[in-house]
Each structure stands twice: as structure tokens, then as C-alpha cells.
Amino acid sequence: MRYMTGGRVVVDVLVENGVDLVFGIPGTHSLPIYKHLPGSGIRHVTPRHEQGAGYAADGYARSTGRPGVCLVTTGPGVSNIATALGQAYSDSIPLLVVSPGLPFSIEGGDRGYLHETKHQSGLTGSIAAWSHRAASHQDLADSLRRAFTFFGRGRPRPVHIEVPIDVLENEGPIEGSLLAEQAVVAAPQTEAVEEVARALLAGRRRGLVVGGGCRKAADEATSLAELLGMVVVSTYNGKGVVSERHQLSAGASISVTAAKEYLDGCDVVLAVGTEIGDSDLYGEPLHPAGTFVRIDVDPAQLQKNVAAQIGLVADAKLALAALVERLSPDGAARGDTGDEAVREAAALRARIAEELASDLAPWRPLHDALEKVLEPEAIVAGDAAMACYYGTTFLLPLEHPSQYLYPTGFCTLGYGLPAAIGAKLAYPDRQVMAILGDGGVMFTLSELATAAELGLALPVVVVTNGGFGEIRKELKAMGAEPIGTDFPSPDFAAVGKALGGEGARVTADELGVAVEEAFGRDRPTLIEIAAGS
């Protein structure tokens, strides 16, 4: 048995579980944790707002697959990071937020204590996968271990651990290991694999839908598509799982009518690691006429939105590998479907391009310029901005998963810049950039100062359209007068310099050079470009 303060317990558990980077803003109540960070080997990064901390940790986690960790203080620190918790929950991102909580003697007392919150863990518990208020030093160690165990098993989602201030400050006994239990990956049952294999072999026209839950199964998904001749459609979060330059890929197009119609007309569709939700489909749901098969590590997903006729609960990588192994020796698996599927994928890409031609036109010059300067491994962090969901999603072909960091489900504004910071800290030698609108960037613009302090070569492209362009468009479509959508933007080039970086205002013809120069600097560059220029 050992005696230590709760602050020391937090740091020791993080170290024991391989955490080497945390995002946080110290506050009076969290100092007992900060006391033990020096000498721990953990790098601490100070964003300018707790929401930025959460998005940066999300970007780190989304790009690496490892948990992102945040330290925030009581009350406003927790409420400020709540939106980032919601975003991580909706997109299944492993995010750990550790905060102090009111002392046992104060909890629920409504006494005007500093940062007092009516029910802090109730707030986060309604947003995160779960929130736990530690009852003792041992409970603190156990709950932190449980969080890391949770991240390694099943569907990863955010967790909040609240540590009462008296546990943080005072010593108490703990015993046992601080290391999370070994990850147990859900393996597929042989009978279930056989059932899915039979369904796939029974169909001639086959579609494959890949989502964010398929990020770690890129090779297996590609092998299965090639083996069976399957046209691949991805969600936003599945973008790049199968290279978008692959001849069987129809890109991140599941929201497009042409792609939906193709999938609806398939004999069999296999959907892997996706909830197929409204934020994926943008309106009209799928109506599959053929057999609909789903693979997901979360059994609750199999009957959501589009009910699976055949469901397989397992880790995507293991399940797809088992299917490839089962189907490879079967000569009937391939037949002549390969060439036919290639032709169908090409025809589908053409129909998608035709359907989206007018929507994509304003964003094509911008993305043509980016495609010329981005390396194959580049990471692009987007925002809930027209330039991204009308542009980057369709116009920037990516070859690998986790290259496009986009806030799909919660669809928050302000995500792109801090998420890019998190990804750049994870991969300092790779190109990382952000694309945001002039409305969204204002939510977290202060994080440019964080990037400047860290010396990050980070191009931040801000596409201006005078406010909230999508909402303006939707109001007009309703026959309503736009209100609250139009406002002047600051001089972004000047802001970039004022916050410690560089700044530029460019046209589409100048964008490529500006981004290339930004990658060569030792600081971020805020690059302003007008929509449609």
C-alpha cells in the first residue's frame, strides 16, 4: 500500500498508461495536479481556451488513435470544454478530461464556493460516455485505469473524471497496479463471418460503406473491395480508409443522391464502422433493396438508422481480415466482377461530379491549388464550413485514413484550428493545415497564439463570405430575410501577425505559393481568401 496525494495519483496513472502530452489551462483548484507534472516526462501545452484544449486533444486522438488528454479546472473550465466532449462523443474519439471537483463538505451546498457548480459531473455525464466523481484515492486510481481500459475496448468515446479538491490535496492510500487492463479486441465469431461471406458471395453487385470505425482497417477494407469487386463509398469520417485515388473508390460521397441510389440498387451492401446517421447522409436516408450487412464493435449500432439483416459484432480490422481469409480461396468470389466494378465506380464518380457541379464550382480553384502542394501524407483539419463540406470533402482526394479531421456528428464551429494543432504536435514532420470559414474561425481564433508559441508551421486558410454563409443560404431558401448571418471580418492577415504568426490575403492563383511558404516557416500563417475567388 502506498500513500500519495490525488494530484500525484493523476500524474502517475497518466505516465503509467503512456501519456506524454496533455492540453490544459491551470486553475487554482487544479494546481495539486500541476505540481507533479515537472519531471514526469509529460509535455504540457497551454491553449488559450478550454474548448481549444478539447479540440486539440481531439485532433491528436483522431489522427493517432491514441487518447487525447485534457486537464481543466472546476466550474468554467469544465463547462468550457463541454462542447469538445460532445464533439468527441458524436464521432467516437477517445478523450480524457480530468478536473477537480468541489470538496466533499461543499458538494451540493450552494455556498458560493469558488467555481461552485450545481452538479459538475452531471453536466459532463450528459455529454460524455461517462463521468465519475472519485470517492477516494483508491477510487481515483481505479476510475482512471478504467478510463484507459475503456478506450482500448469497444467503441472509444470521451470520459470525464472529477477529483474532489480534498482528494487532490491530501494523501491517501492506494494499492494495486496503475496500468489499464490489457486491451481485449472483439474478435468475430466464425459462424458470423461465414454468414456474412455467404451474403457477399450471393450478390453480384456489391457496395462497401466505410466509416470512422474502419480507420484502423484500411488495408483489410481495400483487400476485401479488390477481392470481391466492391464499389467503395465512405462517410466523412471514413474518408481515405480506401484511397480516394483507388479505381474502386467513389469518395466520401454517402450524402450524395447518386451514391445513395447506387447503394440502394446493390444486391448486397456491407457497412463497416458507421452509424449511417443524418449527419452522414444529409437528409434522405438509405433504402437498400438488397441485403444490408453491418459490422460494428458496438452491438447497439447494428439496428440504428438502417437495420442490419445480417450483423457482425467485432473489431473492424479483425472482422475484415477474417472475411478476406475466408473468401480468398473461393474462385467464385472474384469471377469477372472486378472489371465491372471498376467501370461502375467510374460511372458513379461521374454521376456524383455532375450532381455536385454547381455546389463544388466555387471551391474547386481553392482545392486544385491545395492538391498541388500537399504531400501524400498531409493532414487537413476542417471545420463545419461551406469550404469543407462542399469543398474539401469532395475535391481533395486523400489516400489514407485519419488525414481529414472533420467534426461530423456534433458539427461544431471552431474545430479546425485547434484540431490541426493537436495533429501537428502528434506528427511534427508531416504537413498539417486547417481550413475554416470566417464565421467559424472566430470561435477559436485565439488558438493561433498557441500555435505561434509552439513554433508550428501551420497554414490556416480562412475562406471569407461575410459571415455564416450556409445559414444565410438556408434562410433565403425558406423565403426569410437573413438575420444574424452577416458581419464584417477582421483583417485576418493583420491578426495573424498580431498573434505571433504571419498573415496573407491571397487569390486562388496565389494560394498554392502562400501555403507552400507557410509550411516552411517556424510559426503559423493565417491565409485569407475570399469564397469563389
Q: What is the mean pLDDT of each run of 10 residues along the chain (533 residues)?
A: 95 97 96 97 98 98 98 97 98 98 82 81 95 97 97 94 96 93 87 96 96 97 96 97 98 97 98 94 92 96 94 97 90 59 97 96 96 97 94 96 96 96 98 97 97 98 93 90 91 97 96 97 97 79
Dist CA 89 CA 85 (whole Å): 6
Alpha helices for 335-468 (secondary structure H): 337-360, 364-373, 386, 393-395, 416-426, 447-454
Given a contact cutoff of 8 angstroms between Cβ atoms, the answer to whether 140 and 10 are in contact is yes
**pLDDT score, position 337:** 54
- The fold of the 2-174 domain, in CATH, is Rossmann fold (3.40.50)
CA 61 – CA 263 distance, rounded (Å): 31
Query: 480, 499, 483, 367: which is closest to 441 by C-alpha?
Result: 499
End-to-end CA separation in angstroms for the chain: 66
Domain with CATH 3.40.50.970 in the chain: 2-174, 357-530
pLDDT of residue 110: 80
Identify which of 432, 453, 446 has the alpha carbon closest to the alpha carbon of residue 382.
Answer: 432
Under 8 Å between Cβ of 86 and 61: no
Q: What number of other Cβ atoms are within 10 A of residue 443's Cβ?
A: 23
Are 392 and 362 in contact by the 8 Å Cβ rule? The answer is no
pLDDT at 333 (0 to 100): 45
Amino acid 17 reads N
pLDDT at 331: 45
> How far apart are alpha carbons 292 and 288 in whole angstroms?
7
Q: Is 377 exposed, middle or buried (0-12, 13-18, 19+ CB in 10 A)?
A: middle
Query: What pLDDT shows up at residue 475?
Result: 87
**What is the distance between the alpha carbons of residues 522 and 206, in angstroms, rounded to a whole number?**
48
Domain 190-335 fold is Rossmann fold (3.40.50)
Q: What is the CA radius of gyration of the chain?
A: 24
CATH topology classification for 357-530? Rossmann fold (3.40.50)
The pTM of this model reads 0.96
Reported as half-sphere exposure (CB side, CA atoms, 13 A), residue 228 has a value of 31
